[in-house]
Chains A and B, each alone.
Chain A
Amino acid sequence: MKQKHLQHLYWRASFGIGAKEITHLKSEPKSKIVSKLLLQSNTYEPLQLDLSEFLEVKFKSNKELKEQFTALELQELKRKQQRKVKALNYAWIERLRQPTALLREKMTLFWSNVFVCRDNDIFFIQRYNNILRQHALGDFRNFVKAIAREPSMSKYLNNRQNVKRKPNENFARELMELFTLGLGNYTEQDVKEAARAFTGWSFKRNGDFYVKEKQHDFKEKTFLGKTGNFDGDDIIDIILEQKQCARFICDKIYTYFINPKIDKKRLEEITAVFYKDYNIGNLMEYIFKSNWFYNEENIGVKIKSPLELLVGIQKVVPVTFHKEQQLIYLQKMMGQTLLYPTNVAGWKGGKSWIDANTLMFRMKLASLILNNAVINLEEKGAFEDSFEKYYQKTKNSNKFIKTTKNWEVFDVENKERNASQLTNLLVLSKLDKDTEAFLESLQIKSNRNFCVQLMSIPEYQLC
Chain B
Amino acid sequence: MERRDFLKQSTLASSLFFVPNFVKAFENISKNTSQHKKLVIIQLSGGNDGLNTIIPYTNDIYYRNRPKLSISKNDVIKATDMLGFHQNLAPLKNLYDQGYLSIINNVGYPNPNRSHFRSTDIWQTAGNSDEYINSGWVGRFIEKYGKNPYAGIELDDSLSLLMKGENMNGIATKNPKILFGNTNTPFFKKVLKQQTAEHLSEHNLGYLYKTMIEAKSSAKYIYETSKTYKSNFEYPNNPFGKQLKTAAEFINSGLNTKVYYASMGGFDTHANQVNRHSKLLTTYSESIEIFINDLKKSDTFKDTLILTFSEFGRRVQQNAAGGTDHGAANNVFIMGVNLKKKGFYNEAANLLSLDANGDVKYTVDFRSIYSTILDKWLQADDASILNKSFKKLDFI
Instruction: Name A residues whose Cβ lies closer than 8 Å to a Cβ of B.
Output: 71, 173, 178, 260-261, 301-303, 332-333, 335, 342-345, 348, 350-352, 354-361, 363-364, 376-391, 394, 429-430, 432-435, 437-438, 453, 456-459, 461-462
A438 to B173, CA, bound (A): 30
Q: Closest CB-CB distance, B82 to chain A, in whole Å? A: 30
User: Shortest 5 CB-CB distances between A and B: which pairs?
Assistant: A390-B265, A387-B266, A356-B215, A345-B132, A383-B116
Mind listing 13 A-B residue pairs with CB under 8 Å? A301-B205, A345-B132, A345-B134, A358-B158, A364-B185, A376-B182, A377-B158, A378-B157, A383-B268, A384-B116, A385-B46, A456-B187, A462-B208
**Bound CA span A173–B128, Å:** 14
What CA separation (Å) do A462 and B203 show in the bound complex? Answer: 11
Quick one: CB contact mask for B187-213 with A, threshold 8 Å, 1 for yes?
Answer: 110110111101100111101110110
For the complex formed, measure the closest distance between the CB of B386 and the CB atoms of chain A, giving whole angstroms. 19
Q: How far is the CB of B52 from chain A (nearest CB, A)?
A: 16
With A377-B157, A383-B45 known as contacts, the answer to whether A360 contacts B182 (CB < 8 A) is: yes
User: What residues on B are CB-neighbors of A385 within 8 Å?
Assistant: 46, 265-266, 268
Of B47, B183, B205, the residue contacting A432 (CB under 8 A) is: B205
Q: Is the CB of A376 within 8 A of B178?
A: yes
For chain B, residues 16 to 61, give those with C-beta under 8 angstroms from any C-beta of chain A. 45-47
Q: Which residues of A have CB within 8 Å of B120? A: 383
Most central of B116, B193, B239 by chain A CB within 10 Å:
B239
Taking CB atoms, residues of chain A closer than 8 Å to B167 are 351
Q: Which residues of B contact A301 (CB under 8 A)?
A: 203-205
Contact A355 B211 (CB under 8 A): yes
Q: Which of B157, B195, B263 has the most CB of A within 10 A?
A: B157
Q: B276-284, B340-348, B361-369: which one contacts chain A?
A: B276-284
Task: Check A359 against B321 for contact (C-beta < 8 Å).
Answer: no
- Are B205 and A386 in touch, CB under 8 angstroms? no
Residue of B nearest to A261 (CB): B203
Mask: chain B, 157-198; 1 = CB below 8 Å from A; 0 = not: 111110010010111110000100011010110110111101
A433 partner residues in chain B, CB cutoff 8 A: 198
B353 nearest CB across to chain A (Å): 20
Rounded to whole angstroms, the CA-CA distance of A145 and B219 in the bound complex is: 50
Cβ-defined partner of A384 (8 Å) among B46, B160, B203: B46
**In whole angstroms, what is the CA distance A351 to B169 when docked?**
11
Q: Name B165's closest neighbour in chain A (CB-CB).
A: A355
Q: Verify if B9 is at the interface (C-beta below 8 Å from A).
A: no
Nearest to B149 among chain A residues (CB) is A356
Question: Can you name 15 extra interface pairs (CB under 8 A) apart from A343-B132, A383-B117?
Answer: A302-B204, A351-B207, A356-B159, A356-B218, A359-B208, A363-B188, A381-B45, A384-B46, A390-B45, A430-B202, A434-B195, A434-B199, A438-B194, A456-B191, A458-B209
B68 CB–A CB distance under 8 Å: no
Residues in B with CB closer than 8 Å to A173 are: 130
When C-beta atoms are compared, the residue in chain B nearest to A397 turns out to be: B178
Q: Which of B158, B172, B205, B265 contacts A391 (CB 8 A)?
A: B265
CA A20 to CA B314, docked complex, whole Å:
59
Question: Which residue on chain B has the smallest CB distance to residue A392?
Answer: B239
Residue of B nearest to A457 (CB): B191
Tell which of B132, B158, B205, B265 touches A357, judged by Cβ atoms closer than 8 Å: B158
- Identity of the chain A residue whose Cβ is nearest the Cβ of B269 in the assembled complex: A386
> In the complex, which residues of chain B have a beta carbon less than 8 angstroms from the beta carbon of A438?
190-191, 193-194
Of the residues A351, A361, A381, A458, contact of B212 by C-beta under 8 Å: A458
B274, chain A: closest CB distance, angstroms: 14
Report the separation of the CA atoms of residues A249 and B33 in the bound assembly, to the nearest whole angstrom. 53
Residues of B within 8 A of A383 (CB): 45-47, 116-117, 120, 265, 268
Q: Are A434 and B157 in contact (CB under 8 A)?
A: no
Chain B 88-116: CB-based contact to A (< 8 A → 1; otherwise 0): 00000000000000000000000000001
A432 touches B199 (CB 8 A): yes
Nearest chain B residue, comparing its CB with the CB of A456: B187
Instruction: Check if B159 sits within 8 Å of A357, measured CB to CB.
Output: yes
Q: Using Cβ atoms and an 8 Å threshold, which residues of chain B touch A453?
A: 187
Contact A381 B265, beta carbon cutoff 8 Å = yes
Find out whether the CB atom of A387 lies under 8 angstroms from the CB atom of B215.
no
Q: Which residue of A lies closest to B207 (CB)?
A: A351
User: Which one of B116, B158, B238 lies within 8 Å of A380 (CB-CB)?
Assistant: B158
In this assembly, does B286 line the interface, its C-beta being within 8 Å of a C-beta of chain A?
Answer: no
Minimum CB–CB distance from A157 to chain B (whole Å) comes to 11
